[in-house]
Amino acid sequence: MYQIKGKEYPCCTSVTMGIIGGKWKTVILFYLMDGKLRYNELRKKMKGVTERTLSLQLQQLQEDGVVKRKVYTSKPPLKVEYSLTEFGTTLIPLLKAIADWGVVAVENYSENPIKN
């Protein structure tokens, strides 16, 4: 049994899925792999996500130490950027592998395969 921040996990894979699991967290992380994004930039890339869901998922990723939020208050309007933390960048090889596997799954099992 593993325990992190008061949460218990039965194995290492459940730790990983506890942090990045869910419909939108991996999508957020995938887009942040390339660098900082503002909230609205993320939202535009993520068709179908509600503002509430995106905010909650970003908050959870911040609490888990994977994403950081930087607020610029020097001049209006308020500017907020999200990026991967140093710990979050350790997920990049995993995220790339998940994305690559998704391409293989679509090519082999989808009615609309990806065309290059």
| 1 within a domain of the structure (yes/no) | no
Give Cβ neighbours of residue 80 (< 8 Å, ≥ 6 apart): 38, 39, 69, 70, 71, 72
Cα atoms in the 13 Å half-sphere on the side-chain side of 72 = 10
Q: Are 103 and 110 in contact (CB under 8 A)?
A: no
| 7 within a domain of the structure (yes/no) | no
| 8 within a domain of the structure (yes/no) | no
pLDDT digits (tens, 9 = 90+) for 64-101: 999 999 998 887 778 899 999 999 999 999 999 999 99
pTM (2 decimals)?
0.86
| 100 within a domain of the structure (yes/no) | yes
pLDDT digits (tens, 9 = 90+) for 31-77: 999 999 999 999 999 999 999 999 999 999 999 999 999 998 887 77
**Domain assignment of residue 44, given as a range:** 24-109
